[in-house]
A = this chain, B = another copy of it.
Amino acid sequence: MHSRTPENAATRQERKQRTRQALLDAALELLKERSFSSLSLRQVTRTAGIVPTAFYRHFDDMEELGLVLIDESFRTLRAMIRTARADPRTYEHMIRNSVEILVGYVHEHDAHFRFVARERFGGVAALRHAIRAEIRLFASDLATDLARLPHLDRWSTEDLQLLAGLMVNTMVGTAEALLDAPAGDPTAEAEVSAAARRQLRMITLGVPQWHSAGAPPS
């Protein structure tokens, strides 16, 4: 064994990537309690186990790190959405499925969800805008999925967007309620998801009436 790579060493790129990820993880960990704007570069490097100045080898700025963190968070969010988009046969099926998947993801990636929820209206404009854009995108995807359901196939795209926005809003509210539930309390979690299902059902019940009711202008 003349090789001097005891298994934790590796190519330089890999090592760099590893401490970069350590910085991201450290920040995400700290963001469970503080908010991003009150997070200091030195705190991040300290909990990542490197010296403050080394930070600049990986990011220009705390803001740049924040944006990468948003990207990372939305990768898991998009993965969730992809899972949830599988064949929306009926409203009921879609509702049960979506809520269940949401609960699972929030449970498993609560740091990402917590970060996004906190920064959605937080102090840092760049993060706010990135998040807002992603959520809008999400609503658009949902709208095109909805268009395949009975009754909704003849809705205008504007109304579909509004309906999707309503549902996304409810889901976001549910996610936030889940984050607030005492960690790992299964009954609280069950209550929140039951409430979410009922609320989504309330929304869908109006669907068949919408156009026959006239949908008054403005």
Which residues on A are within 8 Å of B, measured CB to CB?
A: 33-35, 37-38, 92, 117-118, 120-123, 132, 159, 162-163, 165-166, 169-170, 173, 176, 180, 194-195, 197-199, 201-207, 209-210, 213, 215-216, 218
The winner among A34, A170, A205, A210 for most chain B CB atoms within 10 A is A205
B118 with A122: CB separation less than 8 A: yes
Q: Are the C-beta atoms of B206 and A166 separated by less than 8 Å?
A: no
Chief secondary structure at chain A's binding surface: helix
Could you list some 13 contacts between A and B, CB below 8 A? A35-B35, A117-B121, A121-B176, A122-B122, A132-B180, A162-B195, A162-B198, A165-B173, A202-B203, A205-B205, A205-B206, A205-B207, A206-B209
In the bound assembly, the distance between CA atoms of A120 and B120 in angstroms comes to: 10
A132 (CB) vs chain B CBs: closest residue: B180
Q: Are B194 and A205 in contact (CB under 8 A)?
A: no
Contact of A205 among B37, B198, B201, B213 (CB under 8 A): B213
